[in-house]
Structure 1
Amino acid sequence: MLKGLLSFKNEYRTLHLTWFAFFLTFVCWFNFAPFASIIGKELSLDESQIKTLLICNLAITIPARIIIGALLDKYGPRITYSLLLMFAVIPCIATALAQDFNQMVIARLLMGIVGSGFVLGIRMVSEWFPPKDIGMAQGIYGGWGNFGAFGAEFALPLIAGGTAFLAGGNANWRLTMVLTGVVAAIYGVVYFNSVTDTPPGKEYQRPKKYGAMEVTSAKDFYGLLIMNFGLIFALGLLAWRLAQQKLHFLNAGQMYFIWFLLAALYAYQSYQAWLVNRDVVLGRKKFAPSERYEFSQVALLQFTYIT
């Protein structure tokens, strides 16, 4: 496989195009951090507001990866990744145009969606490589893609400094933000026209049921409900933080309304999970031993990723 990496044919072509897509999503996702102090001074933000913006940059990625995963199952990685790259230009421009803390919060919450690209490439790579090579291929995809965080930290300040003459001698972070989004959007078009979901002759497998994760036992169904609550709880904490007096982004009434919406979302998620898994919970459907899995394994992977 290592020899094949030097080529740009067949599955290796798809791998290179895909890791670069992941690289660009990370450049966009982490384009705030290199300019945090500059933006803080220009928008008169205090330390707590800057920390909150960094949290906002990550928070929506949690539910976004679930939504993106559902879209991936339905439409495939080619379409979904291309649209995500094109979408990146919106929060990039919103960040560049922000004039105060509130506008910046909205921009960075939207940017969190861009950080969900990881799951798309994992599926694309697994479709194109045989089982014996999937581990290395996904490692290359994830490694070079995550390198986008370093790319943002290293390259973006150079671009901002190089175009400072357009901003009165100050680091031109606003233009740099726009450029990252424009490049990602252009590459989204390139990616759409350059890859396919699967190799020739292989059919893309879509789930039979949409709306929630399918489990293989009643016990696992209740585990799924518990894990879904963790997501809602994390978003509720973010709403509480944004309602703190120092930040002045949400008032108490708005915070409680968001909590109500989150509770409604959890109820909807639980209902969708019930629709998908009710036959298993009621004992009307049994999975063959070869098709079963322990949901505890999924939970352990989640906790491992958190740590």
Structure 2
Amino acid sequence: MSTIAPTGIGARPGVNLALATWVSSMNFWAWNLIGPLSTTYAGDMSLSSSETSMLVATPILVGSLGRIVVGALTDRYGGRIMFIAITLASILPVLAVGFAGNAGSYPLLLLSGFFLGIAGTIFAVGIPFANNWYDPSRRGFATGVFGAGMVGTALSAFFTPRFVGWFGLVATHVIIAVVLALTAVLCVTVMRNAPAFVPNTQPVVPKFLAACKLRVTWEMSFLYAIVFGGFVAFSSYLPTYIRTVYEFSAVDAGTRTAGFAVAAVIARPIGGTLSDRIPPKYVVIASFAGTAATAFIATFKPPPDFWSAVVFITMAIFLGIGTGGVFAWVARRSPAQSVGSITGIVAAAGGLGGYFPPLVMGATYDPVGNDYTVGLLLLVAAALAALAYTAIWLKAREPAASGQAPHRQQEENT
């Protein structure tokens, strides 16, 4: 594949970053189509709490594990091809979810949700794509802006229940499928790989195994599993939580979940930009401390609407800052030729971090007390454990990994 500099509008880093963020947003919307409607499906199909949780969690699982392969393929084929491929591949699952939900079939909806997870793999494409377009000194900003594509979960939470009310269930999914198709066309016509992109033609399996041997891979995976996992879990399960604890309608619960997601999305580039100016370690520590504190306060079920909103939006801000900080750290420490592979593994860990909490919340829900105290306390414990690990064992500054820019290496050795 040629590395000759592209020309025209597609040669601009800002254009490509903005388009990549848009593609991520639309795929995240598709990935989260089931969550905002989960309580509706539960009522229509008489699902138990565990069955509802499984329905919400299945796309998260597939979208998480699939990032490992997608990250390695991005190293080989580049972000442009992978953005187009994943967006097109997500169209049929989106339509299948709509028809399965309309038919009232739980097995078909679960199966369709499995393939809907394809849309969630998009995140593993954007981080190496953004890294190639920006100098190391601005990669925290770039990955933070791309990570703002998480706003797709907010769009889904806010608009999906409303679209269903306005247009019907099947028509809503058709609309999203059409948007995905138009997005793929936009990528074909405008998006370009950065001139710095060099295809890594090594076989995928050896690249994956090599990335697994790096300490940075597992350290960042652990941290990202907490911050991004917490975001994904709450973005998908919060509609159920709010309807159960506070007895809001599906539309009102979606609106409040959208507020949570938007706060995290705004905070993510802030976390990335802060990590360009101070060591990411301190950004991540602040994130874990704030997450633990707000999750603990949430166990007391603060009253709606003001105090509950303050608690959950503050939690979202800390989680968003943490996601930006962790991936800025990944960009600093990863060998340039392995960013996609490492990103895929770390992103998968983040998704897996979001897979289990909905299951735990459903399994530990106390119908007598109408609360999720056990699940929230487990989040507190996980955040405090990650905080201790980051503060004690991880260095604020260390020698840069092989393949990073020389001026970044000099900076981190000072």
Contact 2:130 2:139 in 1 (8 A): yes
Aligned residue number for residue 176 of structure 1: 172
Q: CA deviation at 1:177?
A: 2.0
Q: 1:64 aligns with which of 63, 66, 80?
A: 66
**Residue 121 of structure 1 aligns with which residue?**
126
- The aligned residue for residue 245 of structure 1 is none
2:106 is equivalent to residue 110 of structure 1: no
Candidates 138, 141, 163, aligned match of 1:159: 163
Letter of the 2:153 counterpart: A
- Name the counterpart of 1:252: none
Match of 1:196 in 2: 192
Residues 35 and 173 in structure 1, CA contact (< 8 A), matched pair in contact too: no
In the alignment, the residues of structure 1 paired with residue 205 and residue 48 of structure 2 have an alpha-carbon distance, to the nearest angstrom, of 41
Separation (CA, whole Å) in 1 of partners of 2:185 and 2:86: 11
SS at match of 1:182: helix
Checking the alignment, whether the CA contact within 8 Å between 2:132 and 2:197 is kept in structure 1 is no
How many angstroms does 1:89 deviate by?
A: 1.1
1:203 Cα deviation after fit: 4.6
Q: Could you tell me which residue of structure 2 aligns to residue 133 of structure 1?
A: 138
Q: Which TM-score applies when normalising by structure 2? A: 0.48
| Equivalent position to 2:29, from 24, 27, 30 | 27
User: What is the alpha-carbon distance in structure 2 between the residues aligned to residue 62 and residue 10 of structure 1?
Assistant: 30
SS of equivalent to 1:60: helix
What whole-Å deviation, never above 9, does each CA across 1:12-70 have from its counterpart, x for those lacking one? 00011000000011100111111112222333433322111112121112321112122
Task: Name which one, 1 or 2, has greater alpha-carbon Rg.
Answer: 1
Is the contact between residue 66 and residue 348 of structure 2 (CA under 8 Å) also seen in structure 1? no
Contact 1:73 1:206 in 2 (8 A): yes
Whole-Å separation in 2 of the counterparts to 1:30 and 1:216: 29
Cα distance, 1:137 vs. partner?
A: 1.2
Q: 1:178 to 1:291 in 2, by over 3 A?
A: closer
Task: Give the CA RMSD over aligned residues.
Answer: 3.4
2:54 is the counterpart of 1:52? yes
CA distance in 1 between partners of 2:211 and 2:126 (Å) = 26
CA distance in structure 1 between the partners assigned to 2:177 and 2:211 by the alignment? 41
1:84-135 C-alpha deviation (Å, 9 max, x unpaired): 1111111111111113111011111111121011111111111111111111
- Aligned partners of 2:95, 2:35: CA distance in 1, in Å? 16
Conservation of the 8 A alpha-carbon contact between 1:88 and 1:185: no
Q: CA offset at residue 74 of structure 1?
A: 2.1
Query: CA contact under 8 A between 2:38 and 2:52: conserved in structure 1?
Result: yes
In 2: Cα distance, 1:291 partner to 1:147 partner: 29
Evaluate the alpha carbon distance shift between residue 70 and residue 301 of structure 1 in structure 2; reply closer, same or farther with a 3 A threshold.
Answer: closer
Q: Secondary structure at the match of 1:193?
A: helix
Shift of 1:216: 8.8
Listed as ranges, the gaps of 5+ residues in structure 1 are 1-6, 164-171, 228-289, 293-297
1:220, 1:72 → 2: CA distance? Answer: 19
Contact 1:49–1:101, Cα closer than 8 Å, also in 2: no
Report the counterpart of residue 215 of structure 1 in structure 2: 210
Alpha-carbon separation, structure 2, partners of 1:12 and 1:112: 28
Structure 1 residues 101 and 206: alpha-carbon distance in aligned structure 2, compared to 1, 3 A threshold: same
Cα offsets for 1:158-203 (capped at 9, x unmatched): 222222xxxxxxxx2232122212211221121122111113xx45
From the superposition, tell whether residues 61 and 27 of structure 1 become closer, same or farther in structure 2 (CA, over 3 Å): same
CA contact under 8 A between 1:57 and 1:108: conserved in structure 2? yes
Could you say which structure has the higher helix fraction? 2
Q: Provide the identity percentage.
A: 22
Query: What letter corresponds to residue 121 of structure 1 in structure 2?
Result: G
**Could you tell me whether the CA contact under 8 Å between 1:87 and 1:185 is conserved in 2?**
no
